[in-house]
Structure 1
Amino acid sequence: MTENIMSDGKMKTRLDSMVSQSAKNYLKNNYTNGVSIGVYYKGKSHCYNFAKSKLASEKSFYNIGSVAKTFVGMILAQAALDKKINLDDDIRRYLDGDYPNLHYQNKPIKVVHLANHTSALPKVFRSFPPKILDSLRNLGLKDQVDFYALYTRDSLMADLHQVKLDTIPGTKFSYNSTAMTLMIVLLENVYHDSYENIVTNYLRTRLNMPNTKPFLNESEMHLTVQGYNNKGIPQQFVNLKGYYFGPTMNSTIEDMLQYIKSNLDPKEKALQMAHQLTFGSKNSFGVGLGWMLNSENGKRYIYHDGNTKIGFNTLCTLYPDDELGIIIITNDTVDQKKVGEIENSIKQSILQ
């Protein structure tokens, strides 16, 4: 029942009312629990929190799922600007060892192909036997994550020797989290540092985002929002370590609003570079470096969503022509489409 929904009480403007209505419509579902919304429009940030039980704040931590891939694209763009990497290079230039298998019909995988999901690599480099997968299903979430965390960078690189391509790289879009993890390896190689250090230093020093990081420490774990699955069952918050999962990132609504602000700033060269079309059509679906691109009424918009088994759905969308960005994070995994409906209703109320 919507009358039992808590909020942080912001009901002064038309935008406040529209956000509240959209959030409460989402929370009518029995299995939804809470939603945090950030809106950045023409230089001003607005933050809202709604919940059926414990109310989050703008400083609460969420895992933002696959939106983490946009941070990999950002660091890749900066590496290109730093002349440490060339997007059109064969990825083998930045790998240790010999990988004669990483081409198809004499066409190599280029760096850009990892970032725009056209690498032709398999979605996983190692498939576990059914007996192991059956055993994992009987474990709790933390134990499952601990198992996959044993899959290290060395594991990934050993398995990379065994992959076989069946498509010319750069010709077909196929969403691939493991390819983005391999992109992290390339970045670690060219910067001679861990991705965690690279990205957190960039966010802290360049974008003023101190509370966005791949892994949380013990005190930060106490500031996380409780996540729920699509049946309303609480999920334990865990750090998604290892190289089997795709890129991971934790953040707050406050930091994500700063991320949106930076992404809409033309002076941020790496972020603007990550928005440029690298595959697809400029008039419909396309891909930049980590970001998805599309067009509506002749205007390009930039977006990525994310869903995690530890109980969160995320959608981050940028409308550069309108100086608008919206971040929505729910602490459930009920329906990504419904999260999109929140975003669309807020956008329409602002731009109509």
Structure 2
Amino acid sequence: MTGPAPALTRTGAASRLATAARAVDAPGIVIAVSHRGHRTVHCGGSAPPPAVPRDQQRYEIGSASKTFTGLLLAELVGTGRLSYDDVAAHHLTPGRTPETAPRNPATLRHLITHTAGLPALPADFYPQAVRHWSTDPYGGYPAERVVAAYLRARPRHRPGTRWHYSNFGASVLGHTLAAATATPWEELIAHHVLAPLGLTGTRLHPEDAYGPGADATGHRPDGSTPVPGLAMGGFQPAGAVRATPGDLLTYLEAHLDPAGSPLGTALRTIRRPVLRRGLGHRHLHTLTWFQHPSPQGPLYFHAGATTGQQAFLGFRPATHTAVVAVTTRRIRLRDTFIATAYALLSEEPG
């Protein structure tokens, strides 16, 4: 029987992260913690150390990318360029008359909060994706198809009345921001989020454009079969971000201290709860983060997974703590990864 885990203090963090990493069966894992500005990083895994150290590689963060798109939305609204209540279809079909304009009333707020009445993915996505499900499901579905599928879709329920997690909706939001500003989503993210926060180790495409060895290699659930870097096609706004653990900590540290960030207003905005869902409406959501209560203040977090990697991002302002965990294995059964990372975030500081 093992003793209690050391707390996330400056003296106990290294031992605690090593213990946490051993609980996850993966070829590679990096767990990084920032506590009151002091960083601790642990690299581990069952595979031999790669040529590029694990903590210097870029990792696919999957659905946690939505927090970047949500922050972009908050920044564009905060600077007066858009409104949360803008109807997405109006920006995607400029010049249409009221008689010919799409009648989908979903707003930008509905899209980012998963309340737009959309399924997880468009219905016609699956036939083209099934043959490449474990390697490249999104690459064959470009942005134009995402927008076209949205404009012909009928909401399953009145927008704003039900919550249903949707990669489709988050992607449509990104394309709507691009249409409204006449600027590609990638340029918007780079100019309004990555550059102001100094995220120089973050990219939106697999590594072929940036040099060999920069991206971590993911693996299938068996932990040994490598998979290629994931191209997100038209679903980039929902899952394209790949970043170093250091960049991800910098990103979360900005959330911990909005006053010290050039995106301060937007960062404060996305910490505010905007909806409740689930049994007894116990689950809180902000524009971009899942929020859980704790004795020492709310926890904010988002997880993500791709065909061969997983990620967890979380922060707790009351204890000035942020946790980043990334791994190079897609763990589908008995997943200890998310639970391990969440436990680190929820521990009481010693």
TM (norm. structure 2) is 0.84
What SS does structure 2 have at the residue aligned with 1:58? helix
Correspondence for 1:234: 225
Counterpart code for 2:110: H
TM-align CA RMSD: 2.5
Specify whether residues 292 and 236 from structure 1 end up closer, same or farther in structure 2 by C-alpha distance, changes over 3 A only: same
Specify whether residues 121 and 20 from structure 1 end up closer, same or farther in structure 2 by C-alpha distance, changes over 3 A only: same
Mind listing any 5+ residue stretches in structure 1 that lack a counterpart?
1-11
Aligned residue pair count: 325
Counterpart code for 2:319: D
Correspondence for 2:91: 94
Correspondence for 1:49: 43
Specify whether residues 79 and 237 from structure 1 end up closer, same or farther in structure 2 by C-alpha distance, changes over 3 A only: same
- Give the Cα separation in 1 of the matches to 2:111 and 2:312: 22
Out of 297-306 and 76-85, give the one that drifted further.
Answer: 297-306
What SS does structure 1 have at the residue aligned with 2:161? coil
Correspondence for 1:205: 195
- Give the Cα separation in 2 of the matches to 1:187 and 1:109: 14
- Give the Cα separation in 2 of the matches to 1:254 and 1:96: 40
- Give the Cα separation in 2 of the matches to 1:129 and 1:266: 40
Out of 188-197 and 341-350, give the one that drifted further.
Answer: 341-350
* 34, 54, 58: which one aligns with 2:55: 58
- What displacement does 1:331 show? 0.9
- Give the Cα separation in 2 of the matches to 1:266 and 1:329: 24
CA contact (8 A) 2:303 2:338 kept: no
- Give the Cα separation in 2 of the matches to 1:177 and 1:65: 10
User: Runs in 1 of length 4+ with deviation above 6 angstroms?
Assistant: none
* 1:299 maps to 2:292: no
Mind listing any 5+ residue stretches in structure 2 that lack a counterpart?
1-9
* 263, 276, 282: which one aligns with 1:280: 276
- Give the Cα separation in 2 of the matches to 1:128 and 1:89: 26
CA contact (8 A) 2:63 2:304 kept: yes
- What displacement does 1:167 show? 0.9
Correspondence for 1:253: 245
Percent of aligned pairs with the same amino acid: 18
* 1:70 maps to 2:62: no
* 176, 184, 191: which one aligns with 2:174: 184
CA contact (8 A) 2:216 2:328 kept: yes
CA contact (8 A) 1:229 1:235 kept: yes
* 1:79 maps to 2:80: no
Specify whether residues 134 and 120 from structure 1 end up closer, same or farther in structure 2 by C-alpha distance, changes over 3 A only: closer
- What displacement does 1:134 show? 5.7
Q: Deviations over 1:132-153 (max 9, x none)?
A: 566446xx72xx45xx434222
